[in-house]
Structure formats: C-alpha cells, structure tokens
Chain A
Amino acid sequence: MKRAVGLALALCLLSIGSARAADTIKIGLLAPMTGSWASEGQEMKKNVELLASELNAKGGLLGKQVEVIVGDDGGDPRTASLAAQRLSTQGVVAVIGTYGSAVTEATQNIFDEASIIQVANGSTSVRLTEKGLKYFFRTCPRDDEQGRVAAATLEKMKAAKVALLHDNSAYSKGLADEIRGILKTKKINVVFFDALTPKEQDYSTILTQLKAAGPDVVFFTGYYPEAGLLLKQKKRMGWNVPFLGGDAINNPDLVKIAGKDAAEGFQFLSPPVPKDLDTPEAKAYLTSYTKKYNETPGSIYGVLAGDGFRVVAKAIAETKSTDADKLREYLTTRLKDFPGLTGKISFNAKGDRLGELYRVYNVEKTGDFVLRK
C-alpha cells in the first residue's frame, strides 16, 4: 500500500514536472544587460517583459504561458556567441535581439543552424540581411535607408561642405560610409571623414580638427553619450556649426549630458518613438508602460525589441505552431502592415522591415525631441 502511494506520488510529481516543461513557450531575449550598452539592454528587457506579462494575462499563446529567457551578451561579440549557444540549448522558439550590429553578427549563424527565428532590434548594418540567412529578421531599418534620409536632410539644409564623424564601431562606420557614398553622387563635398574614440571625455582635440576643416554641417553617426559631450564642448569653444546625428542618438539622456543650451537645435534621424505615433497600439502601450515603470520608454531600441516580440507572438498565434519554417513563411509572406508600436511592420524575403521609417527630430529649447514635419 505504502509503495503504491509512493509510486502514485512519484508519477504525479513526474507528470507535473513534464507538464510544466511543456507548459510554456520560451522566447529568448538576447540583450546587453551589462557592459557599455547596458542601459539599452535593460530597456529592451523592460519592454519585452511587459509585453509578455500582458500576453500571459490574456491567456498566453496556444493555450500556454510565455516565458522570457534573458541572455546577456555584454555588448561584446564573444560573450554574445556564448550567450547565443546557451539560449539555443534552452528550448527557445525564437530570440529577440540583439542591439549592436557586430554583436548580432556573432550570433546569427548559431541561431540559424539551430533553426531558431531571430528578430534583431538595433542592428542596422546592411550586410546582416544580405547573407541570405533563413531565420533572421529585424524590426529596425537598415543603414542604407538611414543614409538616404541623411543625404536628403543635408541637401535640404543646403550644405555644401559636410564633415562626417564616426566612432569606428561597425554601425557607426557603416552609416558614415553609406552617407559618404550617397553624398558623392549628389556633389556635396565631404571635407572631413574620421573617427573619435568612444568613452573618452575630452573631445576638444577632435573639435579643433573639425573646426579647422570648416564644414557647413557636421554629421556624427555615433551614440548619444559622445554626441552629448561633443555638443557641450562645441558650445564651450564658441563654435556655432549645426550638428546632425543618426538614430543611436535617440535617448533623452543626450540633453542631460549636453545641457539644454548646447543641445538646442541639434537634429537627428530616428524611427519614431511611441509618444509620436497616434496609432491605438502605440497609445495603449504608452499607457501601460508608464503605469508599470513610471516613465515613458526612453530608447527606441527597447520598443523595437517589443515589436520583435509582438511579431513573433503574432506569428505563433496565427500559424498555431512553433516550427521555425512555418513562422518564417508567415513572417515573410503573410504578415502585412502589422500594427507595430513603431508603425506598420512587414518583412521582405531577406528579413528586412519594409517601408520608410526614419523621421527627423529636432531638439527644442525645452530639451524635448520634436518630430519635424
């Protein structure tokens, strides 16, 4: 008798154990939780976890709860490949992330070989989708599109001499190269093309060089901490040249670093953040995000990670399957104008997001980022 009870109990436990393992749909999030891009990674996590908990409250996917498994890539390709290998052995159906282009590149083949859908959210480098990988998608636009918008903006500003400054990262250098290539065809002179070292505090050496080149406009393709310092130190030098920036600038901390005076008039390109969108999805999301975290989403890349999560969830729900080939087929052929948090989402056969996403933002006197019509 005792033995029978014990056996029954053991069986019970076993079945609970296995039921639990099959009970969730696991979605990976690969993000820089530590390292120099940690602030971006932590926002990515906030967005994806919020969406997952909302989805679970509504009953999850295919009758199961969704579980988010976070892998930390440290903003570093080597760490990222290890994290990607770990994630691919943990039974994830799809992976959201990651942020930097070079970091994503280190993980692409690992997920592709494991037949796991990957939806990157900040990796804008052109070549990532030119390799013909089957399961790779991204919710962010590509550098060549940003380059086109940048060149058009420079033309509109009637700039004759342009200085291009990058930071030697795969993203930043790639974007600067794109812009240079397009400007060449438009007969706009590039009088300066060089890189700064990220994480330094003193950029007066670079600014002195820039000023000597005498540009009408300076385009900086790097990230917001450096952009903030450049603006501040430019102002201290008493130099009044207009500065433009790329989409890695879209972070409210820019104004804190530069100070409102120095940031005023700075313009940058970026996909719109939810507060600038009037779709019902964006509005509803903004409300629930503010309710949970007591702030509006700061970084666009966190929101793009959220969009990555939403398209994957949509694909699983529509195909009633977690099979990578079915999901891929759905995302590339059947998903059309999905109402994303950052606008409409459709993918082409390469996995790139379709449509013009970039807008021009202007930093106002108040320090707010305002969408230029």
Chain B
Amino acid sequence: MEHFFQQLTNGLAVGGIYALIALGYTMVYGVMKLINFAHGDLFTYGAYLGMTLLTSFFLQDRLGVVAGMLILAVMVMGLVALIGAVLERAVYRPLRESHRLSAVVSALGASIFLQNALMLIYGARVHVYPEDLLPQATVNVLGLEVPLMRIVVVLASVVMMALLYLFVQKTKIGTAIRAAAIDQGAARLMGIDVNRVILLVFLIGPALGGAAGLLVGLYYGQVSFTMGWLYGMKAFTAAILGGIGNIPGAMVGGLLLGVIEALGAAYLSLAWKDALSFLVLIFILIVRPTGLLGERVADKV
C-alpha cells in the first residue's frame, strides 16, 4: 500500500506540471481553435530564462529564497509572455483569415525555429541550474516521505490554475475571452476587441508555460533545448484528455495523466508507460469524444 501511495505522489507531482502547460494549449485552442505547437518550446524558454536570470542577478543571495523566487517567477513569466505576444503577431495573426492548416504548419515552423534559436544561443549541451537553491527538506505526509519542493510544485500549479479559472469566470475581461471563444464575429459586434482578447490569451498561456518551465528547472535542475517536445506532447494529451478548450479540464487531464503514467509504470510495465497513457486517451476519445469534462467554451462546431 505504501508503494501505491508513493507512486501516486510521484504521479501527482509530474501531473501538476503537465496541467500547467496544458492550460496554455487549452486557452489558445478555446479562443482560436488552434493548437499552438510552439507552446512546448515556450516552456523551454521559461526554464532557460529562469536559469539565466538566476545566475546573472544572484537573486537568491540578495533577497533570500522566497522573495527571490517570487521575483524570478514574475520576471520569467513576463518575458515568456512577451515572446508569446511576438509569436502571435509574427506567426499567427498574418494567417488568421487563411485555412486552419496554414496556422498549424506555421506553428510547427515556429517551434523548430524557437528550438534551434535556443541551441544557437546557449549551445547544445545540457545546462544546469545553480546547485541546491532550494531547501531539500522532506515532509512526512501520512507515513510517506515527500520532498517539500514537490508539494510546493503541486501547490504552485494548483494556485495558478485556480487564479486563472477565477479570472476567466469572474472578471469582465474573462467574460470577453469567453465570448470570443464562443463566436469571434458576434463578440466583435458586441464591441469586444477580439485582437486584444487573442493577444491577452497569448500573454497568459505562454506566461503559465514559462512558469512551468521555471518550476521544472528549479526542481529537477537540468534543462536542455529539446526538453519542450516531450512535455508539450504530454500536456497536449492532457488537454485533450480533460476536454480541450476547458480550463478545469486541463487541470484534471494533467493530474490524471501523471497518475496514470505512474501507476501504469508501477503495476503494468515501465517501458510501456507512455504507450499506456496514450491508450487511455484513445479509449476516452472513443467513449467520450469531447474529453472528460467536455468542451464548454466552444459551443459551435
């Protein structure tokens, strides 16, 4: 039983990261019906920017761990959001009126560009965060030794997801986002500046992706310029699992995918771990094509 709970916490920790990245896919899809394939690379940029800022300003020495990390998070999220906005202007906006396939190809191109740009700037070697930034304490949760940072990672992702959900559901701008998601033309007629809504989505989604990258960098310590691909793939799966376009869906999908992977690896087979999670995805798409929580924002097909 202890083994089961150990694997469950392993799965939840990874799932929290998947969920955070999945939010970016889901928001962009919800509003634009577009899979932003460059999102995984924005996640990588978050991890690299975090490393660069951390080593160039010695934030943790000057401000202490907690304040340093918070400021770091704000800086990384801001910068990645900026990259997201540039991406929207340069890669997606010129193609908004053309066939949807063009935008997908454009997204793939942007992904390859971003990845190789990163390789040219930083070099191809694996990079490492400064050692032991964070306290290595473990907490005893119901008889299980859980690293403190794991709890922080999961909490941070849950808090960010909850804030996003409240923002979209409760604020006026959130209402505009939801309106644009349902019908861009009608939203425009109601006086909503759809371009600004889309820009906003491309600020928030990448910012969350960047935050996920920073969390991964801080916790695992190692970053490489190709790391976004696998995480992007998993997060994309999580978004579809939960119902793409749906914010709580991304959250549920991410956590679930992490847990399925961990338990699948524990009780079935390690080597088939990834195949298993995709099998679950296929099964759910057959039984419930809209994903677990359905696609609430997009009523029109």
Given A194-B269, A206-B270, A253-B126, A212 and B3 touching (CB < 8 A)?
A: yes
- In the bound complex, do residue A236 and residue B147 qualify as a contact, i.e. CB atoms below 8 Å apart? yes
Contacts of A201 in B (CB 8 A): 216, 219-220, 222, 227
Q: Does B10 contact A (CB under 8 A)?
A: yes
User: Majority SS of interface residues in chain B?
Assistant: helix
- In the bound complex, do residue A238 and residue B126 qualify as a contact, i.e. CB atoms below 8 Å apart? no
- In the bound complex, do residue B271 and residue A208 qualify as a contact, i.e. CB atoms below 8 Å apart? no
Chain B CB count within 10 A is highest, among A39, A196, A224, for A39
- In the bound complex, do residue A39 and residue B227 qualify as a contact, i.e. CB atoms below 8 Å apart? no
- In the bound complex, do residue A208 and residue B145 qualify as a contact, i.e. CB atoms below 8 Å apart? no
- Interface size on A, as a range, is 20 to 34
Contacts of A208 in B (CB 8 A): 3, 6-7, 10, 266
Contacts of A196 in B (CB 8 A): 270
Q: Does B290 contact A (CB under 8 A)?
A: no
Q: Does B226 contact A (CB under 8 A)?
A: yes
Contacts of A256 in B (CB 8 A): 126, 128
A272 to B168, CA, bound (A): 59
- In the bound complex, do residue A205 and residue B131 qualify as a contact, i.e. CB atoms below 8 Å apart? no
- In the bound complex, do residue B221 and residue A232 qualify as a contact, i.e. CB atoms below 8 Å apart? yes
- In the bound complex, do residue A194 and residue B270 qualify as a contact, i.e. CB atoms below 8 Å apart? yes
Given A197-B273, A257-B128, A202 and B224 touching (CB < 8 A)?
A: no
Q: Within residues 1 to 52 of chain B, which ones have a CB less than 8 A from any CB in chain A?
A: 3, 6-7, 10-11, 13-14
- In the bound complex, do residue B266 and residue A209 qualify as a contact, i.e. CB atoms below 8 Å apart? yes
Contacts of B262 in A (CB 8 A): 205
Per-residue CB proximity of A196-217 to B under 8 Å, as 1/0? Answer: 1101111011101100100000
Contacts of A206 in B (CB 8 A): 265, 270
What distance in Å separates the Cβ of B65 from its nearest Cβ neighbour in chain A? 18
Pick from B3, B224, B271: contact of A36, CB below 8 A.
B224
Contacts of B226 in A (CB 8 A): 35-36, 199
- In the bound complex, do residue B230 and residue A34 qualify as a contact, i.e. CB atoms below 8 Å apart? no
A261 to B222, CA, bound (A): 16
Q: Which residue in chain B gives the minimum CB-CB distance to A192?
A: B270
- In the bound complex, do residue A205 and residue B7 qualify as a contact, i.e. CB atoms below 8 Å apart? yes
- In the bound complex, do residue A236 and residue B136 qualify as a contact, i.e. CB atoms below 8 Å apart? yes
Per-residue CB proximity of A174-202 to B under 8 Å, as 1/0? Answer: 00000000000000000000111101111
Q: Does B123 contact A (CB under 8 A)?
A: yes
Contacts of A39 in B (CB 8 A): 123-126
The residues of B with any CB-CB pair to A shorter than 8 Å are 3, 6-7, 10-11, 13-14, 116, 119, 123-126, 128, 131-132, 136, 145, 147, 216, 219-222, 224, 226-227, 229-230, 261-262, 265-266, 269-271, 273-274
Please, could you name 24 A-B residue pairs with CB atoms under 8 Å apart, sorted by A? A34-B119, A36-B224, A38-B119, A39-B123, A194-B270, A195-B270, A196-B270, A197-B273, A197-B274, A199-B229, A201-B216, A202-B10, A202-B13, A204-B10, A205-B11, A205-B261, A205-B265, A205-B266, A209-B265, A228-B126, A238-B145, A253-B126, A256-B128, A259-B132
